């Protein structure tokens, strides 16, 4: 049986803008029109990150910080954190000299011919996870509790699967949560998008919930205090939307 999760529109999203939410609920806005802007909204003002270069890539969130890279010649990893005082603190995490930038905030490096994956916030020396080279076509979507979350077209029930990986949206919360949230863009029970919660301890899917109040889902951007935040299109307009998750599917 499919349950329904009702979404409420919170605000229109400006053109050429994507959204990131960190664990304390702070929302970062990235406007990717050149030169790019990265900012938060606070007390009616836009508090902007002073960027070292005009183009951003490989953005991701971890705990209360947004991590990103710029198109500087010297490759660096930055993190931005919004303080309760209204200050945006930006710091260099490290120089990524011998690292390869992947997607979704992941990095990789080769050690003795073996490839290791880790997050931008991780220590490359100690936190790398060995990639299983016996599988081909894996899409590394993130790291959660020391395991790589992959998307792959397969019949195996132990993987996040779907008819087409482009139709899957995946949100990986912080380490405190045992759930990973997966949305599939396909019509079912009158809803254009279905949401599942994957219990990473039991390797069991719960749901689905049909997302109502949205025409097209763009991304799942965060889960904070039991509220899921997404971006999507309704009546041909891009919105930031929220919905209350059922108790028992948030941790």
Percent of the chain, pLDDT > 70?
Answer: 90
Give yes or no for a contact between 198 and 182, defined as CB atoms under 8 angstroms apart: yes
Query: What total of structural domains would you count in the chain?
Result: 2
* Cβ pair 53, 65 in contact under 8 A: no
Q: Say what the pLDDT of residue 162 is.
A: 41
Give pLDDT tens digits for 159-184.
544 445 557 899 999 999 999 999 98
- Judge whether 19 lies within some domain: no
**What DSSP designation does 166 have?**
G
Phi, psi of 32 (to 5 degrees): -95, 15
Structure confidence at residue 14 (pLDDT): 94
125 and 195 part of one domain: no
**What's the domain range around 245?**
1-14+144-251
| Domain termination site, one of 86, 109, 131 | 131
Predicted confidence at residue 160, as pLDDT, reads 46
**95-99 contacts: CB < 8 A, separation 24 or more?**
96/69, 99/75, 99/124
Average pLDDT, the chain: 89
pLDDT (0 to 100) of residue 249: 83
Q: Is 137 inside any structural domain?
A: no
Classify residue 109 as exposed, middle or buried by CB count within 10 Å of its CB (0-12, 13-18, 19+): middle
pLDDT-flagged residues of the chain (< 50): 157-158, 160-163
**Location of structure tokens 């003002």:** 45
Question: Quick one: 58 and 127 in the same domain?
Answer: yes
Count of CB atoms within 10 A of residue 73's CB?
Answer: 5
Q: Is 208 exposed, middle or buried (0-12, 13-18, 19+ CB in 10 A)?
A: buried
For residue 156, being part of any structural domain is answered with yes
How far apart are alpha carbons 88 and 86 in whole angstroms? 7
Q: Looking at the structure, do residues 158 and 187 belong to the same domain, yes or no?
A: yes
- Look at strands 114-119 and 129-130 and give their pairing: antiparallel
The answer to whether residue 138 is domain-embedded is: no
Structure tokens that stand for 70 in this block? 């710029």
């Amino acid at each position: 049986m499919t349950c329904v999760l009702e979404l409420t529109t919170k605000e229109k999203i400006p053109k050429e803008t994507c959204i990131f939410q960190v664990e304390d609920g702070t929302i970062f806005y990235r406007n990717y029109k050149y030169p790019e802007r990265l900012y938060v909204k606070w007390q009616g003002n836009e508090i902007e990150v002073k960027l070292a270069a005009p183009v951003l890539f490989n953005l991701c969130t971890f705990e209360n910080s947004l991590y990103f890279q710029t198109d500087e010649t010297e490759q660096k990893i930055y993190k931005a954190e919004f303080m309760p005082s209204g200050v945006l603190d930006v710091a260099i995490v490290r120089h990524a000299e011998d690292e390869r930038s992947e997607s979704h905030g992941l990095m990789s490096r080769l050690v003795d011919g073996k490839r290791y994956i880790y997050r931008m916030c991780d220590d490359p020396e100690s936190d790398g996870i060995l990639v299983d080279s016996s599988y081909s076509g894996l899409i590394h979507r993130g790291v959660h509790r020391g395991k790589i979350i992959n998307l792959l077209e397969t019949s195996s029930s132990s993987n996040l699967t779907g008819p087409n990986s482009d139709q899957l949206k995946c949100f990986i919360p912080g380490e405190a949560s045992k759930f990973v949230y997966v949305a599939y863009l396909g019509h079912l029970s009158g809803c254009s998008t279905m949401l599942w919660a994957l219990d990473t301890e039991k390797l069991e899917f719960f749901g689905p919930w049909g997302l109502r109040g949205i025409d097209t889902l763009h991304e799942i951007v965060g889960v904070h205090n039991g509220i899921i935040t997404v971006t999507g299109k309704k009546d041909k307009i891009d919105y930031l939307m929220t919905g209350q998750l059922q108790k028992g599917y948030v941790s």
